[in-house]
Amino acid sequence: MTQQQAGWSVPLIEVALGTELDRAGLSVTGPVFDRVLALSPGHVVVNLAGCRHVDAAGIGLLLDVHRRLARRQAVLSLRDPNPRIRRILQTARLDQVLPVTGSGPPAAPLPDAPPPPVGPASPPAGTAPPPAGTTPLPAGGATRSSGPNGRPCGRAVVASPS
């Protein structure tokens, strides 16, 4: 039985990128987005605060994720790009397709959705710790967690493999 057949989905997932969103990083980032989309989220926020570079391949990945979410009436938004990445997004006119927000608290959950869980997470050996308030997505697949009212919610961190 698939997750959609079971009748549940995750209202909000925030993916914090700690790596470049470029051709070289697609082998890491692409599978993470596949696992995130498998959870049938209503809203995916990509936090670009830790991302220093975006190229055409990264923009293509974001557009692919946007199309896949739009087919399910779900939303992809980008948060906290640095000024250089913001200019790249504007030049590519991606800011006209996807909502881009500045610094601040995480994006608000969809109506009646609980806030994403916040808790400590241990990074794999040899990697930088994830940003405060985020939980890494395990390599073996996505996990589900429940908010205060029992509804699923989650966050993921994508860090460069070092």
Q: How far apart are the first and last CA of the chain?
A: 36
Residue with tokens 């993470």: 32
Q: What is the CATH number of the domain that holds 128?
A: 3.30.750.24
**Distance of alpha carbon 94 from alpha carbon 102, whole angstroms:** 15
Query: Is residue 46 within 8 Å of residue 77, measured between CB atoms?
Result: yes
pLDDT tens series, the chain, 162 aa? 444 445 566 799 999 998 899 999 899 999 999 999 999 999 999 999 999 999 999 999 999 999 999 999 999 999 999 999 999 999 999 989 999 988 655 444 444 444 444 444 444 455 455 555 544 544 444 444 445 445 545 555 555 555
Write down the number of H helices and E strands in the chain.
4, 6
> What is the phi/psi pair of residue 158, to 5°?
-115, 115
**Residue 38 domain boundaries:** 3-159
Q: What is the count of structural domains for the chain?
A: 1
pLDDT score, position 160: 52
Q: What is the pTM of this model?
A: 0.62
